[in-house]
Structure 1
Amino acid sequence: RSSRASHMSLVAEVLERMRREGIEAPLVIGGIIPEEDAARLRALGVAAVYTPKDFELNRIMLDIVGLVDPEVAAA
Structure 2
Amino acid sequence: MLVGKPGLDGHSNGAEQIAVRARDCGMEVVYEGIRLTPAEIVNAAIEEDVHIVGLSILSGSHVALLKDVMERLRKEGADDIPVVVGGIIPPEDETALKAMGVAAVYTPKDFKVNTIMADIVRIVAERQEKAA
- Specify which of 95, 98, 102 is matched with residue 46 of structure 1: 102
Please state if 1:67 is matched with 2:107: no
Distance 1:39 1:65 in 2: 22
Offset from partner CA, 1:37-71 (integer Å, 9 cap, x none)? 0011001110000011101111110000001114x
Distance 2:62 2:125 in 1: 27
Runs of 4+ that moved beyond 2 A: none
Query: What is aligned with 1:10?
Result: 65
Going by fraction, where is strand more abundant, 1 or 2?
2
Computed over aligned residues only, the root mean square deviation of the Cα atoms, in angstroms, reads 1.1
Going by fraction, where is helix more abundant, 1 or 2?
1
Distance 2:117 2:111 in 1: 11
TM-score under structure 1 length normalisation: 0.83
| One-letter identity of the residue aligned with 2:84 | V
Give unpaired runs (5+ residues) of structure 2.
1-58, 127-132
| One-letter identity of the residue aligned with 1:16 | E
Distance 2:116 2:63 in 1: 22
Query: What is aligned with 1:33?
Result: 89
How many percent of aligned residue pairs carry the same amino acid?
58
Distance 1:22 1:16 in 2: 10
Report the count of equivalent residues: 67
